[in-house]
Structures are given as structure tokens and as C-alpha cells.
């Protein structure tokens, strides 16, 4: 049997990278007082319909929806922000002025699988909830930038835009539709469909002909009023102070409806068409829209598969070999070994216990193959003499020591590297 299309097993050689990212995120985000939150993977479908917006790709065609045995409409979460907004409201987290939260986990979207695009993929994301201050926008962008740098991702560009508030966008949207209508036949198919339901998304089209048509289209930034402009300018000023480079891209809009003011993406030239690693922005209306108090917020999500596609080689992380390979023969040895196992655990020395119950010769072969430095062996002779045999595997050297001296000897060998 195969895994489902668009899903992948992450094997032990790769999980080390995932653990590395998790730990890096924990380190960096903790410094800024971000706390991890874990919300359920299953949510009611309504959460996303109300949260993400009916005209988005996610809601229209990408959701994993099903009815559970109680007839409820359930969705496998396609993104993290709506769930966090729900949890924020349910647990009255607004009682604290600012909530800084982060998450790490699988998301599900029914898309056409291709390089950098899966049906189950993973996101690391943060949300800074409770502040309208452009400093919050700068803080979250700084953290994305910092994390990506720590993951050895150079070669990426931050693109940033202000998409204004709802009123400004509605005005712009009406003018954009007017402008595009005469060209409708020349637009790509997706854009034709979007013209009336979500025209802003046309700006995002990768189609060359559509891009040409957009060249003379009205520009969203001309529709922004003082408040939006001031906010955007301050975010840019803070980014300058943080020495974070950015390109202002007036055509950048985000796939989700709930954004306002700041929208940004971090892209890399190293991936083909799936080149956006991180997407985020400000969403001041979402929490109210889901039934909570009016609460401004800003955040982002990083696609971890896309990030790893680029950085995996650079990180040079390997699964460690066990230091010690443990061989036993005979029931008495196998009874005695557990005390040694517990001692090694206490000393935090990693080891691998041979479970094969085969001849000593075969077990020794396995020890050599395992890559361990040392092998400790208890067979029938060792039981009779109350001793342990130690083999230094890469030196083909072997000797016996009294049982009680084992830990001391191991320390000499592993810590002091005293093999003489």
C-alpha cells in the first residue's frame, strides 16, 4: 500500500531536520516571549468558511471536508490562523493585552501535488494578537527573517505591500473590475473566473498575458488614505532600522480574505514556481468576524517542506550513531544486562541493545556495522567470571574488566578518548 497522493512519510533521516527547525523556532521565539499553542487538526467547517472567506481558493476547492458519524461538517485544518483566533476567543485570551503565539504542525489542502505543493504539508507560524502598532508588524517580520537566516536560507527577498482597509479595497476592486472588463477574453481562465468573485487575486496571476494587461491597471496604493499610508510607512521605517531589505510590490495580495494593511511574502529564487516560503500580514477584523471582541493582529506562516527543500543540504545534520553496542549471550547475561542498561541511561550514554539472540560472531558483525565506537559483551564466560568484555571496534582491540568497573572504563574511553 502507498501513502495517499500528496502526502509523504518523513523518515528518521529527515525527522532530524524537523526537530532542528522546531528547536530553533522554540529558541528564537521564546526570546521574544512567543508561546507555543497547539489546536486540534479537526475543526468545524464553518470556522474556515467564516474565517477565510468564501471567494478564496482554499474554501472553493482545497478543503478536506467530511461529515463525521454524528453528521457534523468537519474540516482538516488548511491553515493555522482561524483555529488560533477561535481558541483565542474560546479561552478569553483577550484578557491579556497582548498574546504572542506560535504553532508548528500539519495542514491539509486538496491541491494538485507537485514539487513544493503537497496535500498534507507543514507550517510554522506566529501570531501577535492585540496590537495595532506597526511595531508589531515589524516584530513578526523580523522574526521570520531571523528564523530563515538561522536556517541558512540566504537568497531570499521580502516583498511587502499595504492592501489598505476594507473600504479602500472595495473602491479599488470596483475600479479594477471596470478596467479589466474589456480585456476579459484575454485573461487566463482562472483570472476570468476571479473577475467578479475575487478580482484582487488576479493581481497575483503568473500568466504573462494577464500580467501585461495588468501593467496599466489602477494601482491599489493610490486608493490608500492617510491611516493606511502612515501605518505602512512606519513598518518600512522599522524594517530599515532592523536592516531588513525589502521590495515594495504594489501587486502583492494574499490568498486569504482576512488581511488588511500589511501583506508580505518571503520568496526565494531557488525554487521554481512554488517560490513563496513565508506569507503573512495583518488581520484586524478576523477575531471580531468570528464572534470575539475587536482585536487587531498580525502574523505569518512558513511552509516547512519548501524551506527544507532548499536548506536541507546546507544544514549538515546527521543522525548520530549509538556510542555503545551491547551484546549478550545466554539467559543469565540477558538478565544481568538490564542493570547496565539503566546505568547507561542515567549517564546519558546512548547505546543499542542487540535483540537478535544469535551467535556472538553474528552479533559482533552487527556491532561493527552499527558504527558504534565500543561494544560491551556479556556471554557465558563473563557470567562465570563476573566480568565484562569490551571491544574497541575501530581498533580491533578487546579486553575484559571486572563488572563493577564498567562505568569508569566507559568514561575513560568515551569522554577522555583514552584508548591506549
Q: At what angle do helices 134-150 and 12-31 cross, to 10 degrees?
A: 140
- DSSP for 345-367? HHTT--EEE------HHHHHHHH
Provide the mask over 49-88, with x wherever binding to ligand ATP is found by CB under 6 A and - wherever it is not. Answer: ------------------------------x---------
In this structure, are residues 29 and 139 in contact, taking their beta carbons and an 8 Å threshold?
no
Provide the mask over 247-276, with x wherever binding to ligand ATP is found by CB under 6 A and - wherever it is not. Answer: --------x------------------x-x
Q: Which is nearer to ligand ATP, 118 or 161 (CB)?
A: 118
| 3-state percent breakdown (helix, strand, coil) of the chain, nearest 5 | 45, 20, 35
Query: How many whole angstroms separate alpha carbon 161 and alpha carbon 264?
Result: 6
- Binding ligand ATP (rule: CB under 6 A), the pick from 176, 277, 287, 326 is 277
Tell whether residue 352 is among the known ligand binding residues: no
Residues 6 or more apart whose Cβ sits within 8 Å of residue 124: 21, 25, 102, 103, 104, 147, 301, 302, 304
> How many CB atoms sit inside 10 A of residue 255's CB?
18
Query: How many whole angstroms separate alpha carbon 369 and alpha carbon 206?
Result: 51
Q: Which is nearer to ligand ATP, 274 or 323 (CB)?
A: 274
Number of residues forming the site for ligand ATP (CB under 6 A): 18
CA 120 to chain centre: 12
Shortest Å distance, C-beta 57 to ligand ATP: 7
Per CB under 6 A, does 168 bind ligand ATP?
no
Per CB under 6 A, does 279 bind ligand ATP?
yes
Shortest Å distance, C-beta 344 to ligand ATP: 41
Q: Which is nearer to ligand ATP, 49 or 332 (CB)?
A: 49
Per-residue DSSP letter, 117: B
Give the residue closest to ligand ATP by C-beta.
303
Q: Which is nearer to ligand ATP, 50 or 391 (CB)?
A: 50
In this structure, are residues 43 and 83 in contact, taking their beta carbons and an 8 Å threshold?
yes
Shortest Å distance, C-beta 262 to ligand ATP: 14
In this structure, are residues 325 and 341 in contact, taking their beta carbons and an 8 Å threshold?
no
Q: Which residues pair with 149 in a beta bridge?
A: none
Tell whether residue 246 is among the known ligand binding residues: no
Angle CA 273–276–280, to nearest 5: 150
Tell me the pairing of strands 397-402 and 260-268: unpaired
Q: Which is nearer to ligand ATP, 99 or 276 (CB)?
A: 276
Provide the mask over 91-120, with x wherever binding to ligand ATP is found by CB under 6 A and - wherever it is not. Answer: ------------------x-x----xxx--
Q: Which is nearer to ligand ATP, 53 or 390 (CB)?
A: 53
Q: In the range 283-302, which residues lie near ligand ATP by CB under 6 A?
A: 301
Q: Which is nearer to ligand ATP, 310 or 406 (CB)?
A: 310
- Binding ligand ATP (rule: CB under 6 A), the pick from 100, 201, 306, 391 is 306
Closest to 248 measured CA to CA, from 259, 238, 262: 262
Tell whether residue 109 is among the known ligand binding residues: yes
Annotated binding site for L-histidine: 79-81, 109, 123, 127, 254, 258-259
> Which residues contribute to the site for ligand ATP (CB under 6 A)?
79, 109, 111, 116-118, 121, 123, 255, 274, 276-279, 301, 303, 305-306
Annotated binding site: 79-81, 109, 123, 127, 254, 258-259
Amino acid at each position: 500500500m502507498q501513502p495517499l497522493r500528496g502526502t509523504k512519510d518523513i523518515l528518521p533521516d529527515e525527522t532530524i531536520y524537523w526537530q532542528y527547525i522546531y528547536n530553533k523556532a522554540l529558541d528564537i521565539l521564546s526570546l521574544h516571549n512567543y508561546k507555543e499553542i497547539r489546536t486540534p487538526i479537526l475543526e468545524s467547517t464553518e470556522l474556515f468558511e467564516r474565517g477565510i472567506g468564501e471567494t478564496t481558493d482554499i474554501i472553493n476547492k482545497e478543503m478536506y471536508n467530511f461529515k463525521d458519524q454524528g453528521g457534523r461538517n468537519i474540516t482538516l485544518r488548511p491553515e493555522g490562523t482561524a483555529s488560533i483566533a477561535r481558541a483565542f476567543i474560546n479561552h478569553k485570551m483577550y484578557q491579556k493585552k497582548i498574546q504572542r503565539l506560535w504553532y508548528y504542525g500539519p495542514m491539509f489542502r486538496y491541491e494538485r501535488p507537485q514539487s513544493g505543493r503537497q496535500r498534507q504539508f507543514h507550517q510554522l507560524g506566529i501570531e501577535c494578537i492585540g496590537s495595532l502598532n506597526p511595531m508589531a508588524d515589524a516584530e513578526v517580520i523580523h522574526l521570520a527573517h531571523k528564523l530563515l537566516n538561522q536556517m541558512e536560507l540566504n537568497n531570499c527577498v521580502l516583498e511587502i505591500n499595504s492592501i489598505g482597509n476594507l473600504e479602500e479595497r472595495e473602491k479599488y476592486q470596483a475600479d479594477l473590475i471596470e478596467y479589466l472588463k474589456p480585456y476579459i477574453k484575454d485573461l487566463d481562465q482562472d483570472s476570468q473566473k476571479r473577475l467578479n468573485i475575487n478580482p484582487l487575486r488576479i493581481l497575483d496571476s503568473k500568466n504573462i498575458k494577464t500580467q501585461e494587461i495588468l501593467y496599466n491597471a489602477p494601482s491599489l496604493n493610490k486608493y490608500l488614505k492617510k491611516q493606511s499610508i502612515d501605518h505602512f510607512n512606519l513598518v518600512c521605517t522599522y524594517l530599515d532600522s532592523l536592516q531588513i531589505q525589502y521590495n515594495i510590490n504594489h501587486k502583492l495580495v494574499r490568498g486569504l480574505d482576512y488581511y488588511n494593511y500589511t501583506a508580505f511574502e518571503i520568496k526565494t529564487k531557488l525554487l521554481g514556481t512554488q517560490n513563496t516560503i513565508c506569507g503573512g500580514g495583518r488581520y484586524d477584523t478576523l477575531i471580531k468576524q468570528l464572534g470575539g471582541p475587536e482585536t487587531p493582529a498580525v502574523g505569518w506562516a512558513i511552509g516547512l517542506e519548501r524551506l527544507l527543500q532548499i536548506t536541507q543540504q546546507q544544514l549538515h545534520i546527521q543522525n548520530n550513531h549509538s556510542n555503545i553496542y551491547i551484546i549478550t549471550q545466554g539467559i543469565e547475561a540477558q538478565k544481568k544486562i538490564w542493570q547496565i542498561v539503566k546505568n547507561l541511561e542515567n549517564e546519558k550514554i546512548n547505546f543499542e541493545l542487540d535483540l537478535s539472540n544469535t551467535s556472538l560472531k553474528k552479533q559482533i558483525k552487527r556491532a561493527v556495522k552499527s558504527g558504534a565506537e565500543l561494544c560491551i559483551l556479556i556471554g557465558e564466560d563473563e557470567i562465570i567470571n563476573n566480568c565484562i568484555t569490551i571491544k574497541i571496534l575501530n581498533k580491533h582491540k578487546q579486553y575484559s574488566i571486572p563488572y563493577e568497573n564498567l562505568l569508569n572504563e566507559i568514561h575513560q574511553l568515551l569522554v577522555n578518548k583514552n584508548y591506549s
